[in-house]
Amino acid sequence: MIVCGEKLERGEKKAFSMPIKGGMPLLGMAVCGEKEGKTLLITAGVHGCEYVGIQAMRRLTEQIQPKGLCGQVIILPLVNRSGFLAGAKQLVPEDGKNLNRVFPGKEDGTLSERIAWAIEAQLYPLADFLLDLHGADINEQIVPLAFFPTAAGEEVCSLSRAAASSLSLTMRVCSTSKNGLYSWAAQRGIPGLLVERGGLGRWSEEEVNQCLENVYELMGFLQMLPEQPTKSEQREIVRAVYEQAKADGFWYPAIKEGQIVQKGQLLGRLESVDSDEVWEYRAEFDGVVMYYTLSLGVHREDPLVAYGSERAE
């Protein structure tokens, strides 16, 4: 296996550096197992303040060894380095863009677009499966869950759903997104998951260990490790609403993550900064709150609350 110019033989583990045109290189770790198997690409820190996945992957780069491993693991623990160091919510500070919204990227674009392009060009071709680790940002709280792609063909969808089902999470969510790091990979035929855990700009040892457990469960599912995951009890969310702010304003949530809501129930109120307008957000159907924003001040089109149901209608 060759990763960004670093050649690995069976039983080797090496650090690598992925060059980014006009920016700092992305630093990663590659592990080539003793036996043949699938290649798992793991990314974290696409959003710089989603700390659980970042810290978990720093730990994994230390823990994981070629011995007993079937296949290869490629780890990028911190994709958005400048956002992480600046404490920037969701964005890459140099261009003010959400990296997870610019895929497939551009070779000669802004920094976010160049990072996206480099990941697709240099790492996608190596991957049999992609795991992208996220969490609620510094202003959000979320129920630990996995998103899997449903807009990339039956084979990709089926394998991704089965992988999500193998993780010790209470919820998996059907996603029709096409332009995120993992969802664009799905469009290119690479099955994958986006796992969310953590929030409010915090991380804990317990959450990091739970994240690592999910990674090892996935590796067991992919038959990269001898341990097989135990199938967990999960609900599958097949219908979801992602409410956004209609204007810059003051946001007053009326719910919590994981809360069961009834059709018509108040989810929160938004009061405009610039006028007397007030909007009430109410549930369109019975469901469960997946995540919500806690910050008082929000920009137009900022996420406010997401809820979903196991029923399609």
Which fold does the domain 238-309 belong to in CATH? Answer: OB fold (Dihydrolipoamide Acetyltransferase, E2P) (2.40.50)
> Per residue in 179-203, pLDDT tens?
999 999 999 999 999 999 999 999 9
CA dihedral 303, 305, 311, 313 (to 10 degrees): -70
Per-residue pLDDT at 112 exceeds 70: yes
Per-residue pLDDT at 292 exceeds 90: yes
Domain 2-235 has CATH 3.40.630.10: yes
Between strands 297-298 and 249-253, the pairing is: antiparallel
Q: Please give the average per-residue pLDDT across 90-115, as a whole number.
A: 96
Global pTM value: 0.95
d(CA 225, CA 70): 6
Q: Please give the average per-residue pLDDT across 271-287, as a whole number.
A: 97
d(CA 180, CA 193): 11
Residues of the chain with CATH 3.40.630.10: 2-235
According to the model, what pLDDT value does residue 233 have?
A: 82
Residues of the chain with CATH 2.40.50.100: 238-309
According to the model, what pLDDT value does residue 227 have?
A: 74
Long-range contacts (CB closer than 8 Å, 24 or more residues apart) made by 77-80 = 77/27, 77/28, 77/29, 77/44, 77/45, 78/26, 78/27, 78/44, 78/45, 78/48, 78/54, 79/26, 79/43, 79/44, 79/45, 79/46, 79/115, 79/119, 79/181, 80/45, 80/46, 80/47, 80/48, 80/115
d(CA 291, CA 134): 13
Per-residue pLDDT at 226 exceeds 90: no
* Residue closest to 145 by CA, chosen among 48, 49, 236, 228: 236
According to the model, what pLDDT value does residue 231 have?
A: 66
Per-residue pLDDT at 53 exceeds 80: yes
Q: Please give the average per-residue pLDDT across 246-272, as a whole number.
A: 98
Do 150 and 213 touch, CB atoms closer than 8 A?
Answer: no
